[in-house]
Structure 1
Amino acid sequence: MSLRTSFAAHRRTRARLREERAFERLLARAPTVESAHELRALATRR
């Protein structure tokens, strides 16, 4: 694996983790348990 490919993979991994953390923060702010479940269901479809 080239250095450029390695850096690109690292950037993709960091971006995915950043998105997951943002989603977890969104779930934590959900006003009800039902809305949190709905958000989780929507996330599994993407």
Structure 2
Amino acid sequence: MSLRTSFAEHRRARARRREERAFERSLARAPTVESAHELRSLSTRR
């Protein structure tokens, strides 16, 4: 594996983790259990 490929994979993994953390924060801030459930169901469609 080349160094460039390795860096690209690392960037993609970091971006995925950043998106997951942002999603978890939005779930934690959901005003109701129903809205949190709706967010979760929408995320499975991505």
When the two chains are superposed, the root-mean-square deviation of aligned CA atoms in Å is 0.2
Kindly state the Cα deviation for residue 33 of structure 1 after the two structures are TM-superposed: 0.4
Kindly state the Cα deviation for residue 10 of structure 1 after the two structures are TM-superposed: 0.2
Q: Partner amino acid for 1:21? A: R
Please give the secondary structure, in 1, of the residue aligned with 2:4. helix
Q: Partner amino acid for 2:45? A: R
Query: Residue by residue, what CA displacement relative to the aligned partner does 1:1-46 show, whole Å, maximum 9, x if unpaired?
Result: 0000000000000000000000000000000001000000000000
Number of residue pairs matched by the alignment: 46
Q: TM-score, normalised by structure 1?
A: 0.99
Matches within 5 A, 1:15-26: 15-26=15-26
Identity fraction in percent:
87
Moved over 3 A (4+): none
Please list every run of 5 or more consecutive structure 1 residues that lacks an aligned counterpart in the other structure.
none
